[in-house]
Chain A
Amino acid sequence: MEEIKKQYLLLLSEIIAIEAVVLGPIAILKAKNIPGLDVDNNGKAVDVKGDMAEAVKVLVDVYMELSSRATGGVIDLIFQKYPQIHRIK
C-alpha cells in the first residue's frame, strides 16, 4: 500500500512539475485546491488521502481544461512511466 502511494505521489509531483513549465505557477495553485491532495509551495505532492486515482483524475482534468486539452500528450507520456497506476479517464 505504501509503495503504491509512493508511486502516486511521484506521478502527481511529475505531472505538477511539467504543468508548471507548461502553464506557469498556476499549476501549483490549482494542485493545492484538489481535495485530498497536499502539495508544498514547490509543487511537490507530499500526501494524498482517499481515492488516489480519483485525485489524479481531478488534477489532470483541471490541467486539460486550462490547456484546452493541449497537454494530453504530455500527461500520457508521464503515465507510461507508471504502469502499475490505474488511470481513470
Chain B
Amino acid sequence: MTPEILAIIVISIIFVLFIVIGIFIFQKNKGPKKDSTKKEEEARYKAYEVEILNELSEKSGYSLSVQNVVEIIIGSLRDFVDYSAVSYMLLFPEKIVFKTQLKKFVSLKFIEEVRAKMIDSVSVLSNSDLGTMKIEETIWGETLSDQADERVGSFFNIPLVISGKLAGLLTVADARAGFYKEEEMSALYKIARQAADAVTRLQGAVESEKSKLNAMVASMTDGVVMTDSDHRIIVANPAAKKAAGFENKKDLYMSDLVLALEGKIDLKDKIEEGIRLDKTFVSDEISLPSGFFKIVVSPVKDAWKMLGCVVVFRDMTREKEVERIKEDFTAMIVHELRSPLDSIKKMAELMRASDAKKEKRDECFQMIYSSSSDMLELIGNLLDIAKIEAGKFEILKQKSDIKKLIQSRILFFDIAAKDAKLRIESFFGKDIPIDVEFDPHTISQVLNNLISNAIKFTKEGGVVAVQVLLHKNGADIIKEAKDLGINWFIKNNIINVPDSLVVAITDNGIGIPSDQIDKLFNKFIQAKSTFVDKKGTGLGLAITKSIIDSHGGLVGAESIEGEGTTFYFTLPI
C-alpha cells in the first residue's frame, strides 16, 4: 500500500466519522426541539384558555349570554389560529342571528358558503329545517371583496351548548384547504366547551335567583307585567292576568293588554313615553271587569341602558269598598242622629203652643227624654268606638261575681221584657266562681247590648235565656252544655278555649241568616236582614267584640233563621 493510498483511506475514514458524528449530533438535538415545540404549543393553548376563562369570569358579573361567550372567544382567536372568517349563529324562536368577523378579504360567496354549512349543522342538531327561518346578518372586520373568489378550503363548527341546550354554533373558516391541524381544532373545542360550561354554571346560579324572584312576583297581590325594550312581555304574574281579564291564558301578549285597557289608557303610548323620557306614569283609578285599578308604568334600566318597562296593576277594589262602607256608615249615623233630633224639635214646637194640655206636655217631655237618651247612647257608642280605634279604651279588671252582675242586668231589663211581653230566664252551671277577674262596668255594657238586642228581636211570648257554664281547657264545650241541660243554637264547637266562663244569651226570635253572621261584629258593615230592620246602628256588637277581645276572651254567634239566636262570649278565669 502506497503512502498516497493510505492517506486517502485515512481521510475517507475521518470524513465518514465526521458525517456519523454530525448525524448523531443532529438526531440528538432533534428530539428536544420537537418536544420543546410541542410544549410551546401546549403553553399557547393553555394561555389562550386561561385568557378566555378569565375574561368570562370578569364579565360574568353583568353579562352571561351565549353571545358574550362567542364574542370573548372571537376577541382573542386571532392570537390562537389564523382564519379568513369566524362566524357565529345564535338560535332564537323567531329568528337566527348570524354574525361574521372577517380577518381577510373574502367574497360574498365565501360568506354564503359558511352560512350554508352552519345552517346545515344547526338543522341536523335541532332536527328541523332551519333554512327557511329569518336570518339577521351582520358582517364586520375586513370588507367584502369582489375580486376574491376563494371558496371555503377548511373549516370547523363548534356547537355551543348552554344548560344542556343548543344555543348556537361557532365556525372558523379559511380559504386554504386542509389548513387546520387536529390539535389546534381539538384545543379550541375544549376551550369553547369550558367557556360554555362556565356560563352554564353561572346561569344555573342566576336561574336559581330568577326562580326565587319569579316566585316572589307570582305571589304579589298587585299585578306585575315586565316588558323588554321591544315592548314584548317577559313576565306577567297571575294577578296581572286576572286584572286584565286573562286569568286562564298561559301567555299574555302586549296586544291582550292594549285591548283590555282600550278606551282607558293607551298603554303602548305610556310605555314608549316612559322609556323615552325615563318617566313614571300613574293613571287615575280605572274600572276593569275584575275591579278598580291604578296603572303604574315605570321604565326599567341598568347602569348602561334601558331594559324595558314594568307595568303594575294596583288593585284599588278593597279601598273603594272601604270608602263606600264608610260613606254608608256616615249616612247611617247621620240618619240615626237626625231622627231623634227631629222628634225633639217637633215635641218642643208642640210644647211651645200655649194651648197644649198638661197631659200632652208630659207625653212630649217623655218623648224628648227618650229621643235624647237614644242620641246620648249613640254618641256614647261613637265615643267608645273612637277610643277603641285610638287604643284608649280602658278595661279595669277586678275580682267580680258574674252571677250577681247578670242578675242585676236581668232585673234592669225586666220592665222592658214585660213591655215586649216576653220572659228573661237565667241558668248558672255548677261551681261558677264568684271572684273572676274582669271589668264589671264594660261586661255590664256587653250584657246590656246582648240582652237588649235579644229583647228587640224576639216576638211576643218569646224567651230570652242568659246561661253561664264553667269550661275546662280541652273539654268539649257543646258536651259540657248538653250535660248541664243547656239548650242553645251553638252547633260548631268552640276550640282552643282555656279555662273560662262561657256566657250565652239565647233567644227564640227571628234569627240571622248564616251569611250575615260574620258581619255582625264589624263596626262599618251591618248585617242585612230583618235583623237590622229594627232600630240600631250595630255599633254595640263592634264595641262588645272589642271589650271581650280586651279581656282575652272570644265572642261569637250562631243562629237558625226563624228559630232563634245564641250570642256568646268567654272570660278566661
Contact = CB atoms under 8 A, between A and B. Distances in A.
Q: Among the interface residues A18, A22, A68, which one has the most CB atoms of the partner chain B within 10 A?
A: A68
A22 B196 contact: no
Contacts of B193: 65, 68
Contact of A23 (B156, B160, B196): B156
Nearest to A19: B124
Contacts of B156: 23-26
Contact of B157 (A18, A24, A65, A77): A24
Contacts of A65: 189, 193
Nearest to B120: A21
Nearest to A67: B159
Contacts of A66: 158, 186, 189
Contacts of B189: 65-66
A29 interface: yes
A32 to B, nearest CB: 9
B147 interface: no
Contacts of A86: none
B537 interface: no
B125 A71 contact: yes
Interface residues of A, number: 20
B533 interface: no
B269 interface: no
Contacts of A29: 182, 185
Interface string B28-44: 00000000000000000
A26 B156 CA distance: 7
A69 B127 contact: no
B378 to A, nearest CB: 79
Interface string A10-25: 0000000010011111
Contact-residue size bin, chain B (C-beta under 8 Å from the other chain): 20 to 34
Given A26-B156, A29-B182, A69 B161 contact: yes
A61 to B, nearest CB: 14
B124 A68 contact: no
B127 A68 contact: no
Interface string A27-69: 0011001000000000000000000000000000000011111
Contacts of B280: none
A71 B154 contact: no
A70 interface: yes
A25 B174 CA distance: 13
Interface of B: 117, 120-121, 124-125, 127, 154-161, 164, 166, 171, 180, 182, 185-186, 189, 192-193, 196
List the 7 shortest-distance A-B pairs measured between CB atoms, nearest first: A68-B161, A70-B159, A24-B156, A67-B159, A70-B166, A26-B156, A70-B161
Interface of A: 18, 21-26, 29-30, 33, 65-71, 73-74, 77
13 contacts: A18-B124, A21-B124, A22-B121, A22-B157, A24-B155, A24-B157, A24-B171, A25-B156, A26-B182, A26-B186, A70-B125, A73-B127, A74-B124
Given A22-B121, A66-B186, A68-B196, 7 more contacts: A22-B125, A23-B157, A23-B158, A26-B185, A65-B193, A68-B160, A77-B127
